[in-house]
Amino acid sequence: MPLLGVLAVFLLLVAGQGLVYARFWRRGLDVSLSFSERTAPEGASISLTEVVASRKLLPLPWLTVKFQVSRALGFEDSPHGLVTDDYYREDLYALGTYQRVTRTLRVDLRRRGYYTVKTVDLISNDLFLMTELVGRVDCPATLTVTPRPIAREDLGIPYSRLVGTLIVRDALLPDPFEFRGIREYAATDPMRSVNWKATARTGDLKVNVHEYTASRDVLLLLNVRKDREHDEDRPVEDCIRIAAALCAALVEDGVSVGLASNARDIVTGEEAAFAPGRTRAHVDAVHEQLGRVDIARRTADFAQVLESGALDLRRRPMLLLISASCTHRLSEAWKALLAEGHQGIWVLPRYPDRPDDRLPELDEGVATWEVAAR
């Protein structure tokens, strides 16, 4: 009888603790994931912070935290993960009373794109491993991987000639918003340039001197449509990298740069487009937009974009068409645009190991970027 009594008490304890864990294991349990950066370039490494905190007296000797992300994000601590179409990671925790555990995981950014961790699965047990306890928490963590940077010296296109066309001194106009100094008045100066305060102070006519700015903008025309649905993504990805590199280099040289594309944003579904700008914030915004481009989505024929008249060309910008696709219709639409008096260069990636790569049906105005050597 004593043995039966002990057994009964034991069974009551097992059942009781099972009920307690089933009811209270999730209470006061917080799990969060966060990337160290909101945006980062392809090829960089950042960190993912995993925080698990228990704000209760009930300990959790076994807690498994599971989440899923794209395999394009490489984790250094791979023994805790399984890579198939995606990366599945499991981390085991033992939480005591009112305990908080933080783990920082290194993440290698292998490919441009927009990545999310939407939910985290939690699996635990009672003290005697009699009951499996399963839950899920919303844990939104997002990361935009921007195009891999290209050094100016590696662009491999006639960039100096392009910038020379835009920034040659004769092609510049004074920018009224960029003040440089004051000088003596000359007969050719307009009266609106007179600095009346300086004139009254010195007794001689003085005029404001402004910095110069390019008289024309550059409009990047990015085509991400492939000639055939089954074509590889590499040329399109290289076009996106070229667009990002040209935007950064031109703005660095004081040129105002805009963007028009048939590429669609994976978040908003809208086509990528930016009015001209020449600030660092503008470059960052364009790069983030290019990071969120989803080339798997159906896109408009870029020849139709050029033919439709939807582009804002009132300021007569310098046009840079960045396209690996060289269809006859696109070549004809581009030639028609140039025939209207617009200036432009067609930029496309080239691969030395592919001598049969197509080129646009143009006599001139084509610049290539040799990819394989870099």
pTM for this model (two decimals) = 0.81
At 294, is the secondary structure helix, strand, or coil? coil
pLDDT of residue 79: 60
At 163, is the secondary structure helix, strand, or coil? helix
Q: Which of 362, 261, 358 is nearest to 306 (CA)?
A: 261
166, pLDDT greater than 80: no
- State the Cα–Cα distance between residues 297 and 259, nearest whole angstrom: 19
- State the Cα–Cα distance between residues 74 and 77, nearest whole angstrom: 9
Domains and CATH numbers, the chain: 28-146 (2.60.40.680), 152-169+215-370 (3.40.50), 174-214 (no CATH)
Q: Cβ-count burial of 242 within 10 angstroms (0-12 exposed, 13-18 middle, 19+ buried)?
A: buried
Torsion of the alpha carbons at 247, 252, 254 and 260, rounded to the nearest 10:
10
pLDDT of residue 188: 62
Could you read off the pLDDT of 228-245 as tens digits, one per residue? 777 788 999 999 999 999
Could you read off the pLDDT of 276-311 as tens digits, one per residue? 998 999 999 999 999 999 998 889 999 999 998 888
The answer to whether 242 and 282 have CB atoms below 8 angstroms apart is no
Render 258-293 in DSSP notation, one character per residue: EEEEEEEBTTT-PEEEEEEE-SHHHHHHHHHHHHTB
Task: Provide, rounded to the nearest whole percent, the portion of the chain with pLDDT above 70.
Answer: 86
- Per-residue confidence at 80, pLDDT binned at 50, 70, 90? low
- Mean pLDDT in residue range 327-333: 92
Within a 10 A sphere around the Cβ of 216, how many other Cβ atoms? 19
Structure letter (DSSP) for residue 27: T
Q: Which of 268, 267, 265, 263 is nearest to 243 (CA)?
A: 263
Per the rule left: phi > 0, alpha: psi between -120 and 50, beta: everything else, 344 is beta
- Mean pLDDT in residue range 52-79: 88
Could you read off the pLDDT of 11-51 as tens digits, one per residue? 777 777 788 888 889 999 999 999 999 999 999 999 999 99
148, pLDDT greater than 90: yes
pLDDT of residue 172: 46
